[in-house]
Structure 1
């Protein structure tokens, strides 16, 4: 397999991964909306005897949201590295960002 074919496969895998991530994020957004609705309707000062307990539960939810954001950030950084490697290879061949560096066919050269 040629280097161009390997890079094309790498980019194809990256595009498929991005599509799957979009589907996951769509499901997460729906789940987050349900959680938000539940929290707005059920987490109030009336539900807690002590304000400290309400703050504690709010911080737990906040920490979970931060973990999701950190995970997405790491995933995005990894995907960016793949695209940078492919673009660097394309520029080294003189193709620029969009012109002529890749042969998208399935044949080995």
Structure 2
């Protein structure tokens, strides 16, 4: 079944493109994180805040933003894994039934 093979090929191509996009997001986030780190090292100190509680709140806010990005990317990765697992399972079922690449299948 050429249509089925084409569909799997499109799924793999889309997954590869999504992985590339994720790598670009991570690269941009790494650059941004380095800039933030440098700014924090140069501007944030105990003298910058009236209270230690305010410094802690600001640090936690920055940390929460980083965790949100990581969580979002993790969810994308899990979704991609689920899609690929389904595609691979269906592909293997097709091989077992002789539908994809098997000698007993239809052209």
Contact 1:8 1:102 in 2 (8 A): no
Shift of 1:11: 0.7
Change (3 A) 1:60 1:102: farther
RMSD after superposition: 1.9
Greater Cα shift, 45-54 or 83-92: 83-92
Output the TM-score relative to the length of structure 2.
Answer: 0.83
In structure 1, list runs of 5 or more residues that go unmatched.
Answer: 96-100, 104-108
- Distance in 2 (alpha carbons) for counterparts of 1:32 and 1:102: 47
Shift of 1:94: 3.5
- Distance in 2 (alpha carbons) for counterparts of 1:89 and 1:73: 24
Q: Which residue does 1:24 correspond to in 2?
A: 25
- Distance in 2 (alpha carbons) for counterparts of 1:24 and 1:68: 10
Q: Which residue does 2:83 correspond to in 1?
A: 82
Output the TM-score relative to the length of structure 1.
Answer: 0.81
- Distance in 1 (alpha carbons) for counterparts of 2:100 and 2:9: 7
More helix by share: 2
Q: Secondary structure at the match of 1:49?
A: coil
- Distance in 1 (alpha carbons) for counterparts of 2:89 and 2:38: 46
In structure 2, list runs of 5 or more residues that go unmatched.
Answer: 102-106
Shift of 1:49: 1.5
